[in-house]
């Protein structure tokens, strides 16, 4: 691994340690492609881990990883699919965190079909990623998976986004208020920005404003024809929307994920307002109609002491994002 030596210790930008603990199927491959181009242009050290299936670590593994990250020559940006690491707890200097999430049902659908059928990079891509998957599982109707409560389509597997922000504590993997509130607290205290994929161009613009030595020109690169050719290959294939009944079940199971998503969306819009950017994302008429129907027809929750939230703005990207 070759590291950039452009920056001397006396002129390091601030912050010079950035961690992007990327959430799966939230546009991270798109962003990593951009980061590779930006690292070459701006001469910062980009370390993109190839470990995709180990988000939870033992204490020993946490310390080893945090020390390795801290030893990367600055300025650096380290990215990996990993749940939040609390450097301060182990008396290691805390880097700045950034991240992007998306509507929880949209993320779930993208992952469900990606595991089975891959993306536009190649028709056989999915066979490499999930070689042990049998045909009856690969071609399992998503409505059957959801309505018959298959493990892949129920909790705790649906409780996916919050642990990336809650951290490595075992309770962070249990759907509930404790993990939700800890995740919110970590966002407020440790993350410079958490954007939403539905407004990716605004996320990139804010990153350019907040971290110019990493992200200057990122929006121009993203909009360029050459990048578009690469970026269009990351869309999941064969994806379709479940029935309204199945969506209702998902929506109930993912109520903590939606609480967190709404919190992040509000924080992101507040940041845009402070900087002077207006929110431009709006559900299409088709989306708004379905969401109204979903809110009206969602039955009482299974647990009598819990209420199911039915915010009509929730899940506003089930149909639009790869």
Task: Tell me if 264 sits within 8 A of 186, measured CB to CB.
Answer: no
Q: What DSSP string runs through 50-106?
A: ---S-----HHHHHHHHHHHHTSPSSEEEE-S-----TGGGT----EEEEEE--HHH
Task: Tell me if 142 sits within 8 A of 246, measured CB to CB.
Answer: yes
Alpha helices by DSSP H, the chain:
28-42, 59-70, 104-117, 125-129, 135-138, 142-147, 163-166, 177-190, 200-210, 212-215, 218-223, 225-231, 244-253, 255-275, 285-297
* Of 42, 52, 81, 169, catalytic: 81
List the structure tokens of 128.
Answer: 């490499």
Query: Does the annotation mark 60 as catalytic?
Result: no
- Other beta carbons less than 10 A from residue 213's beta carbon: 17
Contacts of 145 (CB under 8 A, 6+ apart): 112, 152, 153
Active-site amino acid positions: 81
């Amino acid at each position: 691994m070759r590291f950039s030596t452009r920056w001397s210790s006396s002129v390091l930008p601030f912050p010079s340690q950035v961690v992007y603990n990327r959430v799966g199927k939230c546009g991270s491959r798109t962003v990593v492609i951009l980061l590779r181009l930006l690292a070459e242009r701006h001469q910062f050290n980009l370390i993109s881990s190839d470990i995709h299936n180990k988000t939870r670590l033992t204490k020993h593994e946490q310390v080893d990883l945090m020390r390795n990250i801290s030893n990367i020559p600055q300025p650096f940006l380290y990215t990996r699919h990993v749940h939040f690491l609390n450097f301060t707890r182990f008396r290691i200097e805390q880097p700045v965190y950034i991240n992007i999430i998306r509507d929880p049902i949209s993320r779930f659908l993208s992952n469900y079909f990606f595991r089975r059928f891959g993306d536009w990079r190649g028709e056989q891509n999915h066979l490499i990623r999930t070689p042990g998957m049998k045909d009856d599982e690969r071609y399992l109707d998503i409505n059957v998976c959801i309505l018959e409560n298959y493990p892949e389509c129920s909790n705790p597997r649906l409780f996916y986004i919050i642990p990336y922000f809650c951290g490595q504590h075992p309770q962070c993997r249990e759907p509930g208020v404790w993990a939700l509130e800890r995740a919110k607290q970590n966002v407020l205290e440790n993350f410079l920005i958490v954007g939403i994929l539905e407004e990716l161009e605004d996320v990139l613009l804010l990153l350019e404003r907040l971290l110019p030595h990493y992200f200057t020109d990122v929006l121009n690169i993203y909009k360029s024809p050459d990048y578009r050719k690469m970026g269009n290959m990351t869309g999941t294939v064969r994806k379709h929307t479940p029935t309204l009944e199945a969506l209702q079940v998902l929506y109930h199971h993912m109520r903590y994920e939606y609480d967190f998503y709404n919190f992040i969306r509000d924080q992101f819009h507040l940041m845009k307002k402070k900087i002077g950017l207006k929110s431009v994302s709006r559900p299409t008429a088709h989306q708004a109609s379905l969401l109204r129907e979903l809110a009206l027809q969602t039955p009482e929750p299974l647990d009598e002491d819990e209420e199911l939230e039915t915010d009509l703005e929730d899940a506003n990207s089930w149909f639009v994002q790869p």
